[in-house]
């Protein structure tokens, strides 16, 4: 079997997770790494048995097929566009970028060079998430009418000091919205459809040692006519849960708890609670959730959940390249969460509702 040669941009905590996820993928191999610090880059290359490269262009010139961009958020556009222009396919960590203009530049570069562009949203592969998506597709809740995201997490001072770029507008581009919430915001729009209008607030409630917000709330109207709400926060010690719920026009409700307890931090902690369908009132299926919970726990005990679902998304991306199809989460799909985050920030600053374009 032909193996896709992946290169990594970054040697940090998230990059290490990606390297381990690629090890379990028969369709791919980690071939190289690039980062500005030569010593750190070479140490990473030695640990994972790949080549240390002085530039993205050098990686691609020597045969790397696809680049994983795992650098800090403000650098995503620069690194993704450089890789695409050099001739590689690109899959970029969430959020895709900080601004929709950056996303548009990345999408345009992919189209211009005939390359695949994907965005990492590995929670879409959770079995509990897949069940929810299928219930919507099968019409079991009627039309999605009301969507909710509630994420009550915690990040302490040590977390923000673990990397020099964390917690600042210049280094991270935002707080809970750009770092912890994109997965849930992605799922909300995957279930409900694109957001049309947003009214929001964002504040720093109890993290005086950072510049950015630790909490945000928003009210939404979706293009399909549904309504929604968002409450995301890093201010609840030690972390409680993250949930996405969808209530349908026929009165049925379906939901997923994507995260429970202390929130997973890439490279610093592991997923400790299996995702589960915490709400399920589809007529005739009310009793199924107990069996699903057992099945999800059984799977969770057999895998390393911090890596396994990344492996599934990398497999989809590799197959998209081999089969010349769009990846499950492509550039336009990844842009939706960025547009929503951008609108929440703008609504909070301007103290008015924002219509998304």
Number of other residues whose CB lies within 10 A of the CB of residue 130: 12
Per-residue pLDDT band for 266 (boundaries 50, 70, 90) equals: low
Degrees, nearest 5: CA angle 100-102-104:
70
At residue 270 the predicted structure's pLDDT band, cuts being 50, 70 and 90, is: low
pLDDT tens-digit series, residues 13-49: 999 999 999 997 999 999 999 999 999 999 999 999 9
The pLDDT of residue 263 is 59
CB contact at 8 A, 246 and 192:
yes
DSSP string, 57-74: HHHHHTT--EEEE-S-GG
pLDDT tens column, 167-216? 999 889 999 999 999 999 999 999 999 999 999 999 999 999 999 999 99
For residues 105 and 174, give the distance between their C-alpha atoms in angstroms, rounded to a whole number.
20
Tokens of 124: 């879409």
DSSP letter for each residue of 97-108: -SSHHHHHHHHH
Q: Give strand ranges (E) for 249-298.
A: 253-260
3-state class of 295 per DSSP? helix
The residue behind tokens 């409630």 is 205
Tell me, what's the pLDDT at 267?
Answer: 52
pLDDT at 218 over 80: yes
Tell me if the bond preceding 278 is cis, omega within 30° of 0: no
32: DSSP letter: E
**Residue 272 banded pLDDT, cuts 50, 70, 90:** confident
Domains of the chain and CATH, by start: 4-122+310-329 (3.40.50.720), 123-303+336-355 (3.30.360.10)
| Calpha distance 46→59 (Å, rounded) | 16
- Helices (H), ranges, the chain: 13-23, 38-48, 56-61, 76-86, 100-113, 127-137, 157-161, 176-179, 182-192, 288-302, 305-323, 331-350
Amino acid 269: pLDDT = 52
* Phi, psi at 247, each rounded to 5°: -110, 130
| % the chain with pLDDT above 70 | 97
Tokens describing residue 324: 């010349």
Query: Pairing relation of β-strands 28-34 and 51-53?
Result: parallel
Q: Rounded to whole angstroms, how far apart are CA atoms 357 and 354?
A: 9
CB burial string 305-314: b at 16+ within 10 A, e below: bbbbbbbbbb
The neighbouring-strand residues paired with 312 are none
What's the pLDDT score for residue 273?
85
Mean local confidence (pLDDT), 227-237: 97
**Whether the predicted model's global pTM rises above the 0.85 cut:** yes
Query: Average pLDDT over the chain, rounded to whole?
Result: 95
CA distances to 117, 118, 323 from 110, rounded to whole Å, are 6, 10, 17
């Amino acid at each position: 079997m032909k193996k896709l040669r992946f290169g990594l941009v970054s040697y940090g905590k998230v990059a290490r997770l990606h390297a381990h996820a690629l090890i379990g993928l028969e369709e791919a191999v980690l071939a190289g790494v690039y980062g500005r610090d030569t010593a750190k880059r070479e140490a990473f290359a030695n640990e994972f048995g790949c080549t240390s490269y002085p530039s993205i262009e050098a990686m691609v010139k020597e045969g790397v097929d696809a680049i994983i961009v795992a650098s800090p958020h403000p650098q995503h556009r620069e690194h993704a566009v450089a890789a695409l222009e050099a001739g590689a396919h690109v899959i970029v960590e969430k959020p895709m970028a900080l601004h929709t203009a950056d996303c548009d530049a990345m999408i345009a570069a992919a189209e211009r060079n005939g390359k695949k562009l994907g965005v990492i949203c590995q929670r879409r592969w959770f079995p509990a998430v897949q069940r929810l998506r299928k219930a919507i597709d099968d019409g079991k809740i009627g039309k999605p009418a009301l969507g909710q995201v509630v994420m009550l997490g915690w990040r302490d001072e040590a977390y923000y000091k673990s990397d020099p770029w964390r917690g600042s507008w210049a280094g991270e581009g935002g707080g809970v919205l750009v770092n912890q919430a994109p997965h849930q915001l992605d799922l909300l729009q995957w279930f409900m459809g694109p957001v049309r209008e947003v009214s929001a607030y964002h504040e720093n409630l109890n993290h005086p040692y950072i510049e950015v917000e630790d909490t945000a709330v928003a009210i939404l109207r979706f293009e399909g006519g549904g309504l929604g709400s968002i409450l995301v926060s890093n201010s609840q010690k030690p972390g409680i849960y993250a949930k996405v719920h969808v209530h349908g026009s026929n009165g049925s409700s379906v939901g997923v708890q994507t995260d429970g307890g202390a929130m997973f931090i890439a490279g610093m902690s592991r997923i400790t609670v299996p995702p589960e369908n915490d709400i399920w009132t589809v007529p005739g299926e009310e009793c199924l959730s107990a069996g699903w919970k057992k099945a999800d726990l059984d799977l969770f005990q057999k895998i390393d959940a911090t890596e396994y679902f990344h492996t599934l998304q990398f497999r989809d991306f590799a197959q998209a390249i081999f089969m010349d199809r769009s990846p499950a989460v492509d550039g336009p799909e990844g842009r939706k969460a960025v547009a929503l985050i951008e609108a929440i920030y703008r609504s909070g600053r301007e103290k008015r509702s924002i219509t998304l374009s």
